[in-house]
Amino acid sequence: MPQIALLTDFGTRDWFVPVMKTVIYSINPRVRIIDISHDILPQNIAEASFVLWNAANQFPAKTIFVTVVDPGVGSARKIIAVETEQHVFISPANGVLDLVLSEKNIKKSVWVENRKYFLDNISSTFHGRDIFAPVAAHISKGVKLRELGEDAAYRAQKSPFCDAAEPGKYRGTVLYIDRFGNLITNLRVKAGIEGYAKVGNRKAKMVSTYSDVQHGQLLAYRGSSGLLEIAVRDGSAQRKLTARYYMTVELKLR
């Protein structure tokens, strides 16, 4: 069964997401739709990029990822579709795919322009319904990227991730703050390493799990994405450190 995964900042109070779904089902009733999230902060490309990177790394092959998060919604911004060995990605051409594609082989990229695969009457403000949903549904039925438009010659960006494997000092940044207030960084770490992380003048000891520190204490650990994370046991590192996106995190490995 082909699978379409949706990632938007549309929220769940309005009618935008269910309308996208009915458009998809009306074109391909046999597709499975999975919601990644619709609660991305409005127009927050950084947040969407990171969630997409994580989801895509853990989703099965042949998933079609539809990401609709764009500060320039309704502008003349082009829409891009990119095919990798595993997946297809469709999004506004605003860089939201750069992170997820930074470590992938690009097989094909095109501008999404062929109106044959759009809804008949295109509004200028709801491209999710009028373009993204029908194009994804058509791809799930076998339409090839080359049928959608001209070659976009997308080149993968340099990965922002950094390996912190050997003893020494590393400097990273906060890429994401999750719902529990955990800070996720761009530093790739291995299981079992020892040392500590520093945010401002606060130290967090590297441990393997939450229960290795006391209630309320800071900890640093290898998160489920393989990245260094900073958390507070039974609390929020975001609150304790008044943390922000892209804040510097230092890591000292022994």
Q: Which residues bind a copy of itself (CB under 8 A)?
A: 1, 3, 5, 10-15, 18-19, 21-23, 25-26, 29, 32, 34-40, 42-43, 51, 54-55, 58-60, 63, 71-76, 123-126, 129-130, 178-180, 191, 208-211, 221-224, 229, 234
At its nearest, how many Å lie between a copy of itself and the CB of residue 47? 8
- CA dist 237 and 66 (Å) reads 31
List Cα–Cα distances, 98 to 40, 140, 182, in angstroms.
Answer: 17, 23, 23
CB closer to a copy of itself out of 104 and 129: 129
CB closer to a copy of itself out of 37 and 102: 37
Q: Is the dihedral of CA 123, 143, 136, 111 positive or negative?
A: negative
At its nearest, how many Å lie between a copy of itself and the CB of residue 97? 16
Closest to 89 measured CA to CA, from 122, 49, 125: 49
Q: What residue type is 231 in one-letter code? A: A
Tokens of 83: 């095919």
CB closer to a copy of itself out of 23 and 82: 23
Q: What crossing angle do the helices spanning 133-140 and 16-27 adopt, rounded to 10°?
A: 30
At its nearest, how many Å lie between a copy of itself and the CB of residue 10? 7
CB closer to a copy of itself out of 104 and 109: 104
At its nearest, how many Å lie between a copy of itself and the CB of residue 116? 20
CB closer to a copy of itself out of 92 and 109: 92
HSE value, Cβ hemisphere, 13 Å, CA-based, for 236 = 10
Q: What residue type is 133 in one-letter code? A: A
